[in-house]
Amino acid sequence: MDLKEAEILGADVHTHWYYRAKGAALLHDLSGYNPSEILDIGAGSGYFARLLLERTHAARAVCVDTGYATERDETWCGRPLVFRRAITRSAADLVLALDVLEHVPDDVALLRSYVAMVASGTRFVISVPAFNFLWSGHDEFLGHRRRYTRTALERVLTDSGLDVDWSHYYYAALFPLAAALRLAERMRSGAVPHSQLRRHGAMVNAALSAICAAERPIMRANRLFGLTVFAGCHKP
């Protein structure tokens, strides 16, 4: 989770449709798997690590983000939740990198550094923004360097030493509206880069959450389009 978006949404992040839908997609993709330890790369507020501590039997979660002003240890659901600016080793058997790779100059090098820290068999779940033609001031505000297709992301994962197990697009139902808004924005000159995430009331959050919920049962079959690419892989 991007720290800039955490600042925008504040406490509302836990009720915001976008993060609730992404968290639900993560749980759906991990259905039937219970990790023992979680490593969340670029974790921001730790939203997804907290969610997995609540919904799995994981004994510990480590959140890593170079944007942390200080390092700290917390407890969540009675289990350790650790925040670090950097690490050199990990006992995690599940690694998350949700909306991280698009921020760094060398996505393969970043992933390789974490692949080297974990044991063979460790699972990775990755998400990135989809399609460069959707580039907008939202990407510039968040410091993105690129967006991805599903095949481009799979290539990065393979080059990083990972075996790809599955990949799919998500937020497909919202894709036409988002694409129209972003393309319209690009036609306006002088627009100041800004995040497109907004705080919403309960009705809007409920409606958009319901749209995403209807998509989740079939999202694994979506090889065509969406606003986000999800992939699952493991270290051989």
The span from the CA of 31 to the CA of 156, in Å, is: 25
Give the total number of structural domains in the chain: 1
Residue range of the domain that includes 82: 3-234
Q: Which residue has the higher pLDDT, 11 or 128?
A: 128
pLDDT category at 17 given cuts 50, 70, 90 is: confident
Residue in 63, 68, 44, 67 with CA at minimum distance from that of residue 53: 63
- pLDDT per residue over 79-138, tens digit each? 999 999 999 999 999 999 999 999 999 999 999 999 999 999 999 999 999 999 999 887
Residue in 168, 157, 223 with CA at minimum distance from that of residue 29: 168
Residue in 94, 100, 5, 91 with CA at minimum distance from that of residue 43: 100
* Predicted structure pTM score: 0.91
β-bridge mates for residue 163, sequence order: 234
The span from the CA of 38 to the CA of 53, in Å, is: 9
- pLDDT per residue over 64-89, tens digit each? 999 999 999 999 999 999 999 999 99
- Could you tell me the CATH number of the domain that includes residue 114? 3.40.50.150
The span from the CA of 214 to the CA of 217, in Å, is: 7
The span from the CA of 86 to the CA of 67, in Å, is: 10
Token code pair at residue 189: 């000159």
CB 150 within 8 Å of CB 168: yes
Residue in 54, 3, 7, 9 with CA at minimum distance from that of residue 27: 54
CB 64 within 8 Å of CB 105: no
